[in-house]
A and B are shown apart, each in its own frame.
Chain A
């Protein structure tokens, strides 16, 4: 029980830390926040239930006014901005990513990449695009064009989520709770 609780809390802190540290150049000169990568990792490393709870706890901390989103954003205001759908989709994305890693027998690298694509892109965009459509008063088609701006960065994060999950599985096999 204590292990679950501390893993959830520590990965919540990790998502925040990845957003606070500026300038992680994920690929040659493209500064991308590692924050949504943190969300994918919550699922692929901690598993579906704990991963989703860690992300949910992160959103609670943001909502009560801690500036933990990348760029020092936070507070209730971020839940009224156009990307709010992505925030709401974060816990579900982590859950689905974790579920894929838990339920498949692929090697951690491929399982985590599949999980990150299905959860971190498929499920996440299914929340994010309607959210953007409502907030900007656009049709779903128009909103999906706007969401494409996030796609290149997210594809890079999918690959990284795979490699990081694999590295964790190699260094601490017991710590990969999604496979324990």
Chain B
């Protein structure tokens, strides 16, 4: 399955994931402390430089990942133009775009395996209740079954269309959930037969 990690290698790819995540946390806290649009724009420069430094393909990818933000920017723009507090609106919009772009930058430059390693380290104190092996197995199972269940939902919808001129719509939901439940029972039996989930 596709991940959001960029195939374009940047120097950021070589930094340890933990360092990037800590830097992101500090940076986001800083963004929320700043109030003036000028200061926010200045704080956003390093992120912009890093994105632009990755080349055109990398920057286009980063731009696409910001697209879901537009409805919120529109709401903020309309709201603040109507209330006459345009400068505040600019600050809110800038903070939003920069914070999301910075977080996306970390996602784009960190491999899935490195992220999973961080999760395992963070979950280490939970070992008595949640053995790391069990967590790793749950993550792997979920990732493996996303395409399986997507395919199943598509099949159920196609089977419905073969029998009815109307769209399947919500009627796929119950069979899809049943498919997930049945798969879960079978995988559980398969795991038990192979010595359990550890």
Whether both chains belong to one complex is answered with yes
Interface residues of A (CB under 8 A from B): 1-3, 5-14, 16-18, 20-21, 24-27, 34, 37, 41, 45, 57-58, 60-61, 63-68, 71, 73-82, 135-138, 146, 160, 163-164, 167-168, 171-172, 175
A172 and B178 form a contact (CB under 8 A): yes
Q: Contacts of B197 on A, CB cut-off 8 Å?
A: 1-2, 5
Of B8-16, B38-46, B50-58, B164-172, the one touching chain A: B164-172
* With contact pairs A75-B103, A172-B181 given, residues A65 and B176 touching in the complex (Cβ less than 8 Å): no
Bound complex: CA A5 to CA B107 (Å):
27
Of A21, A34, A64, most buried by chain B (CB within 10 Å of CB) is A64
Bound complex: CA A61 to CA B1 (Å):
12
Q: A5-B197, A34-B170, A160-B173 are in contact. List 17 more A-B contacts (CB 8 A).
A: A5-B137, A8-B138, A10-B187, A12-B142, A13-B144, A13-B148, A18-B153, A18-B176, A63-B115, A65-B5, A75-B104, A77-B65, A135-B96, A136-B76, A137-B92, A167-B178, A172-B178
Bound complex: CA A20 to CA B145 (Å):
13
* With contact pairs A2-B192, A25-B169, A66-B1 given, residues A168 and B185 touching in the complex (Cβ less than 8 Å): no
What are the 10 closest A-B residue pairs judged by CB atoms, nearest first? A75-B107, A64-B115, A13-B145, A9-B141, A77-B104, A17-B149, A76-B103, A167-B174, A80-B99, A12-B142
* With contact pairs A64-B116, A66-B1, A76-B24 given, residues A9 and B138 touching in the complex (Cβ less than 8 Å): yes
B115 and A80 form a contact (CB under 8 A): no
A-B contact pairs, 10 of them (CB 8 A): A8-B138, A11-B184, A25-B169, A27-B170, A64-B119, A66-B146, A67-B2, A74-B107, A75-B108, A80-B99
Q: Contacts of B167 on A, CB cut-off 8 Å?
A: 25
Bound complex: CA A6 to CA B192 (Å):
11
Which of B116, B139, B178 contacts A57 (CB under 8 A)? B139
Q: Contacts of A9 on B, CB cut-off 8 Å?
A: 137-139, 141-142, 145, 184, 187
Bound complex: CA A44 to CA B72 (Å):
31
Q: Contacts of B100 on A, CB cut-off 8 Å?
A: 77-78, 80-81
Which of A16, A17, A79, A168 contacts B181 (CB under 8 A)? A168
Bound complex: CA A18 to CA B50 (Å):
35
* With contact pairs A2-B188, A5-B197, A24-B170 given, residues A13 and B72 touching in the complex (Cβ less than 8 Å): no
CB of B130 to closest CB in A, whole Å: 9
Q: Contacts of B3 on A, CB cut-off 8 Å?
A: 65-67
B59 contacts the other chain (Cβ, under 8 Å)? no
A26 and B169 form a contact (CB under 8 A): yes
B153 and A21 form a contact (CB under 8 A): yes
B174 and A164 form a contact (CB under 8 A): yes
Q: Contacts of B103 on A, CB cut-off 8 Å?
A: 75-80
